[in-house]
Chain A
Amino acid sequence: MSSLSVNHLLGIKQLSKPDIELILSTAKNFKEVLNRPIKKVPSLRDITVANLFFENSTRTRLSFELAQKRLSADVVNFSASNSSVKKGETLVDTVNNILAMKVDIIVMRHASPGAAIFLSKRVNAKIINAGDGAHEHPTQALLDAFSMQEKLGNLKGKKVVIVGDILHSRVALSNIFCLQKLGAEVKVCGPQTLIPKYITSLGVEVEPDLRKALEWCDVANMLRIQLERQDIKYFPSLREYTMMYGLNKDLLDSLSKKIIVMHPGPINRGVEITSDVADSKQSIILEQVENGVAVRMAVMFLLAGRQN
């Protein structure tokens, strides 16, 4: 297996297990490249990538841009706030105009679920989904899996709990697909109102008690409470959420084994996770960010290398 089975990275759902394994093993090679004195390789020097961010992002946009530059690709950046989208241009028109300037790969973040899939059917470029609404965020799931693998080895049989706002989280859905394909067991934990009803149909168990969930798992992925997506109140107060589902040092230290703590960022310190946990030895939050560049390099390298 030396090439992906897909032309776009739209979601983890569309990837096969060998695809995921190929991306993770290639990312390992890129991580080594990133630790060289000269961190740049010429692989994508004839490729132009457009980063289309219709939604705010710091980490993902920077990570993608760094990955593209480390691969020697030409990069153009676009954010919706200061573009013709404001004047009423449609998504397909916007993208086709960008493609007319000879762009090969589109990295897109959009607030609408399915935006990447929609685009992939209508334009002639390779699409990488950098987050579409509450649907999928495949590169985050891949870098999470990569970071877990670095700590735990093969993920088969490993236990991962995803804690928090599952309902509004694209990270949760992509993580569930990715971890299950790699053979890990996944549980979710959070207030009933933030757990989607379909979740059990994905083979995911719901554990409402945080302590029990943490005792069970090898890895806890703490999600951010996405206040910007919450149109109604899903829980009485942030303070109450923190008391029930926040991870603090006392709770972490009282567990019978040392678990790994992850967070996709940005962290609401003191809400889903306290500062002393986020900065503790068990937290691999900054390693996740570091690995993000390597994983995104692998994704773009493999997609660009695919012959149509």
Chain B
Amino acid sequence: MKTKILLEKTLFDITLKRLCHQLIEVHNDFSESVIIGLQPRGIYLARRIQKELKSILKTNSILCGDLDITFHRDDFRKKELIPSKTNIDFLIEDKNVVLVDDVLFTGRTIRAGLDALIDFGRPKDIELMVLVDRRFSRHVPIQAKYTGIKVDSISSQNVKVEWKETEGKDRVTLVDK
């Protein structure tokens, strides 16, 4: 099994900071914007972005929620899925929502995420942020507005995102299956 490191240490931190500054350019002080991380793996990026934004903007009022999309997936019955928790304790009606996931691959997860999200109301607009964009592999016409890194990969490879909170270190790797 061959592993290629795409992002780690300083570069990882710089990428997160850049994403935050890109967000601030559009969303200013986040008073009308919220962050929603997609379960199960997008929530770590969402929380990290929330933490970073809080320290850059010197505020405590950055709203961040977790959204589970299991019940909206189109591959239900093709594989076994375990639902995770949804936790959105604020209104998204008329807000600018930044949907956050770790890897954008086929786009199907995001499609389900958009469906799941509008169950909670009608946001003003929805943008997509991902840490890794696997190009040339989309099954649906969905693109991210904010991207950490772009990766050209083939289907026999996996992109693995690790987080300090769960795996002990921040790292993005490309793994041959």
* A positions within 8 Å CB-CB of B: 2-3, 26, 29, 32-33, 36-38, 40-43, 71, 301, 304-305, 307
Given contacts A29-B68, A32-B85, A42-B115, contact A37 B120 (CB under 8 A): yes
Given contacts A26-B83, A29-B85, A32-B85, contact A41 B77 (CB under 8 A): no
Closest to B78 in A: A307
- Chain B, 112-134, contact with A by CB distance < 8 Å: what is the 0/1 string? 00011011110000000000000
How far apart are the CA atoms of A2 and B120 in the complex, in Å?
27
Q: Point out the residues of chain A lying under 8 angstroms from B72, CB to CB.
A: 41-43
Cross-chain contact A41 with B71 (CB below 8 angstroms): yes
B76 within 8 A of A: yes
Given contacts A29-B70, A32-B86, A301-B71, contact A2 B80 (CB under 8 A): yes
Cross-chain contact A305 with B119 (CB below 8 angstroms): no
Cross-chain contact B77 with A305 (CB below 8 angstroms): yes
Cross-chain contact B119 with A37 (CB below 8 angstroms): yes
Total A-B pairs, Cβ < 8 A: 45
Give the residue of B82, B86, B119 whose beta carbon is less than 8 angstroms from that of A2: B82
Most central of A29, A40, A307 by chain B CB within 10 Å: A29
**Shortest beta-carbon contacts, A-B, top 8:** A41-B71, A38-B119, A29-B83, A2-B80, A2-B82, A43-B71, A3-B80, A36-B119
13 additional contacts, CB 8 Å, given A2-B81, A2-B82, A307-B80? A29-B70, A29-B71, A29-B83, A29-B85, A36-B120, A37-B119, A40-B119, A41-B72, A42-B71, A43-B72, A301-B71, A305-B76, A305-B77
* B positions within 8 Å CB-CB of A: 68, 70-72, 76-77, 80-86, 115-116, 118-121
Q: Point out the residues of chain B lying under 8 angstroms from A29, CB to CB.
A: 68, 70-71, 83-86
Distance (whole angstroms) from the CB of B93 to the closest CB of chain A: 9
How far apart are the CA atoms of A126 and B40 in the complex, in Å?
30
Q: Point out the residues of chain B lying under 8 angstroms from A32, CB to CB.
A: 85-86
Closest to B82 in A: A2
Q: Point out the residues of chain A lying under 8 angstroms from B70, CB to CB.
A: 29
Give the residue of A38, A42, A305 whose beta carbon is less than 8 angstroms from that of B81: A305
Closest to B70 in A: A29
Most central of A2, A26, A41, A301 by chain B CB within 10 Å: A41
How far apart are the CA atoms of A40 and B120 in the complex, in Å?
11
